[in-house]
């Protein structure tokens, strides 16, 4: 019996520029996306009757019906399978947990069925699913359909922190006063050392940060805590929040900083991560 086990990494928006809004309400983005070495795990097994279960340290409250993107992703293949989602990432957190789970489910079912072509409807699962299928540094534009791999990024080490509040993405977008902001430069820098690349990132933005803080003021506390960490070069929010990240030049600095934050804020979700 074929069993497919796929890692579902956390997605981190190093930048997120909101560059416009279409007539149908969808927002246009220009975002540099990377993936962390922390995430969920998806196991898919053939079955006579479809079954979906959620386990793991962050399983509480995760839906097991069709509102879960992984369930919807599996339904696109129309074959009975048993899916076990081991949940390690916080939900509604701005790090693409649900989209990454859906992408991992698609990859697992493609492996089991031997169908290497993506089924119709994959992109309709959510704006982040296409980039999560790539699972590598990428520039994401449009409404998420324009994904271009990015090479030449230096090693990046981070502390990810989430204070345990859910942030509704539609509410954050709705609160953004200006929907037409400048995009990133046409050409992104390549070949920079880690420090220089982080300095360049500091000149870019997450346009959703201010409206997210207005919606959930504790995000400002997370950013302040990360900014104050020894050797932190940049602190920023990912996606629509509430997860934030701090970037460091070395893995050891990130690990030391993560321990410090976890000690100071035992109720927060805190993880050191390598981003790529």
Active-site residue list: 11, 128
Give the chain's length: 276
Which own/partner contact pairs does 260-263 have at CB distance under 8 Å and 24+ positions apart? Answer: 260/229, 260/230, 261/159, 261/161, 261/225, 261/226, 261/229
Please report the DSSP string for 126-193 in residue order: -TTHHHHHH-S-EEEEETTTEEEE---PPPEEEEEEE-S----HHHHHHH-S-S------SS---S--
Phi first, then psi: what are they for 150, rounded to 5°? -115, 130
Could you give the CA distance from residue 243 to residue 222 in angstroms, rounded to a whole number? 8
């Amino acid at each position: 019996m074929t069993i497919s086990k796929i890692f579902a990494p956390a997605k981190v928006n190093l930048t997120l520029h909101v560059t416009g809004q279409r007539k149908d309400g969808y927002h246009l983005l220009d975002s540099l996306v990377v993936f962390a070495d922390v995430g969920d795990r998806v196991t898919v097994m053939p079955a006579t009757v479809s079954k979906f279960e959620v386990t793991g340290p962050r399983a509480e409250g995760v839906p097991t019906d069709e509102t879960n993107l992984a369930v919807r992703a599996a339904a696109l293949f129309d074959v009975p399978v048993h899916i076990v989602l081991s949940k390690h990432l916080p939900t509604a957190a701005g790090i693409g947990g649900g989209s990454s789970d859906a992408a991992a489910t698609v990859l697992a079912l493609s492996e089991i069925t031997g169908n290497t072509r993506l089924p119709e409807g994959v992109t309709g699962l959510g704006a982040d699913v296409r980039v999560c299928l790539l699972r590598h540094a990428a520039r994401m534009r449009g409404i998420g359909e324009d994904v271009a791999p990015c090479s030449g990024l230096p090693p990046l080490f981070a502390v990810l922190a989430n204070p345990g509040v859910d942030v509704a993405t539609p509410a954050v977008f709705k609160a953004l006063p200006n929907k037409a902001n400048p995009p990133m430069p046409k050409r992104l820098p390549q070949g920079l050392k880690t420090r220089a690349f982080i300095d360049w990132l500091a000149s870019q933005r997450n346009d959703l940060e201010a409206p997210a803080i207005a919606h959930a003021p504790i995000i400002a506390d997370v950013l302040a805590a990360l900014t104050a960490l020894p050797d932190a070069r940049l602190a920023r929010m990912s996606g629509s929040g509430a997860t934030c990240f701090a970037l460091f030049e070395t893995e050891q600095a990130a690990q030391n900083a993560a321990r410090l934050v976890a000690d100071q804020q035992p109720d927060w979700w805190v993880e050191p991560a390598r981003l790529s």
